Amino acid sequence: TVVLDETTVDGSTAASAGCAAIVAVGGGTIVDLGKVLSHRHGVPLVVIQTCASVNGFSDPLSVLVRSGTKSTVPTAWPVALIIDHDVVAHAPAALTRAGFGDAAAIWCAPADWYLACTLGMDTEFDSDVLAVIGAAAERLRDAPSFSGLDLDALLDTLTYGGLGIGVTGTTAVVSGCEHLISHLIDMAAVARGTDHDLHGTQVGVAAVMSAALWESAIESFDALAIDVDDAVAPIPDLESSVIGAWESIDPSGRVGAACARNVATKMDRWSSARSELEDFVANWPDHRRALVALLRPAADIAADLAAIGAPTRFSQLTPPVDRETVRWIMRTLPLMRDRFTLCDALLVSGRWTDEFIDRVLDRAAESGGGL
């Protein structure tokens, strides 16, 4: 297993010094490394995709591990992306199922992006880009079995998703709470020195959870009850809360300190979002309709994953993610990165509680996912 930490990236950079071009052949991690090397050396990158496992083959970003924390950083866009469908069709089935899981983010992540854009916490929302990705994803729905999966539709969904990230300049197009959950699984495993499942496989399980989170929030959320003054006010002892949340997997405090900086950046932006929040509260019925249109029911996502033999529950991942870790992940969701998602909105409004998390876990279980 290749981990793109400082040692791997710096060693690969030194080993490839003087190259005229980079050719990355393989899956998502190898391609992410190729993007880094192309960017550092200022040489062209050609990607030869051998599986349909993630959407990262066609975007100009790489996911790296820095100080034990997963970070998405700008790197290089391939000058050419070669996809041979015969090659991809013979990839291990686990990788294709993982790709479906990564593609499933289109059915929940755009709601997080819409929320962030509406509240002034991200770039302008681009419905045209989403329409292209969504049209491809429609062809993925209701696959009767793994053998009945439309590989062309999967490749289109993943490729358009990566291109959409590059065009808009943000991963939020197809990356919301479900990707944060997957990253937290990774980080917990790395800190403990244990294995974790494929990124897309984890995202699929987390997409069921994220959809259940949105359903629970929309059903119980009364935007008119938000006190704007309280919501934009600084959260007491936030830094110590972030650092404390990470102590269970990193007693050194290194990861917690890095996450605390990310969260501080996010909350600094949030402190100036008063007018956007006031507008959101005043026009909640319209925003609610827009959000519902961007979401697919958690039960439907779980049913499609199950139909192709992909995991839908954390206990079905390899290795399984236990109940205690899942609860830690849910509590820590808003205490990791500088990106704003639904869990952050619930945190600043005082609604991100153990009681609410239990409701989400129950909703996910009822939908065929969860623990």
One domain, residues 272 and 236: yes
Domain boundary (45, 73, 91) is at: 91
Residue with tokens 């109940």: 323
One domain, residues 140 and 266: yes
One domain, residues 86 and 134: no
One domain, residues 192 and 320: yes
Q: Predicted confidence band at 225 (pLDDT cuts at 50, 70, 90)?
A: confident
Domain CATH number, residue 267: 1.20.1090.10
Q: What is the pLDDT of residues 49-102, one digit of tens each?
A: 999 999 999 999 998 888 777 788 999 999 999 999 999 999 999 999 999 999
> Closest Cα to residue 120, out of 262, 221, 270, 222?
270
Beta strand 45-49 with 22-26 is parallel
- Assess if residue 371 is contained within a domain: no
Long-range contacts at 286-291 (CB < 8 A, ≥ 24 apart): 287/118, 287/223, 288/218, 288/223, 290/114, 291/111, 291/114, 291/115, 291/214, 291/218
Domain boundary (64, 91, 118) is at: 91
One domain, residues 160 and 230: yes
Residue with tokens 């809360």: 241
Average pLDDT value for the chain: 94
One domain, residues 121 and 58: no
| pTM as predicted | 0.93
Mean pLDDT throughout 132-156? 96
Which pLDDT does position 250 carry in this prediction?
86
One domain, residues 132 and 27: no
- Assess if residue 324 is contained within a domain: yes
Q: Which residues contact 184 (CB under 8 A, 6 or more apart)?
A: 329, 332, 333, 336
The SS3 of residue 250 is coil
Structural domain range at position 215: 96-366
Mean pLDDT throughout 260-278? 94
Domain boundary (91, 110, 125) is at: 91
One domain, residues 221 and 276: yes
What is the number of domains present in the chain? Answer: 2
Which pLDDT does position 85 carry in this prediction?
95
Q: How far apart are CA 371 and CA 363, in angstroms?
A: 11
One domain, residues 71 and 165: no
One domain, residues 173 and 46: no
Q: For the purposes of burial, counting CB atoms within 10 Å of the CB of 132, is it exposed (0-12), middle (13-18) or buried (19 or more)? A: middle
